[in-house]
Structure 1
Amino acid sequence: MNETLLDVKGMNCPLPVLKANRALRAMTAGQRLRVLATDRAAVGDFHAFCRETGHPLLAWSEEAGVFSFVIRRRADEPEPKAS
């Protein structure tokens, strides 16, 4: 499956999550975003972000100080119907 790559290495909290949120808003439901970050705080930040927004965190890993997060864009909720 195609992924969009967002490299935020060297950026500190809250910029990685803010930039990921912006990227996800431009994507369609089901698309994947891979975020590369070096800020250790990003681990907790992305877990909380995904829990709060409903975008599934499919995977995360760390290698040589670089954290990789794979997030799937959630389906948008249908607009409530007016009564």
Structure 2
Amino acid sequence: MAQTVVPHFVNDKGVDRIAIGVKEFQCMGAAPPHDHPHVFLDMGHEAQIVCPYCSTLFLHEPSLGATESEPDGCVYVATAPPGAPAA
């Protein structure tokens, strides 16, 4: 079975809208430890969706890649804490 990574987005900048290059993703609200429940959102045939937790409006922008956003810096990338063993 093939695995796909679902991008996670955060709104640490506090903007009202974020353009993204995918239609299926997870919204975290803010980076941990200030995140809300990670909610899976699917735009389906629409070009926008509002997160029910943080009210961020996500707009689908096909010219963006799966790990890009406008404004920049809204894609969450998990990092291991210092001293954690490598996977």
TM-score band w.r.t. shorter chain? 0.3 to 0.5
Q: Which has the higher helix share?
A: 1
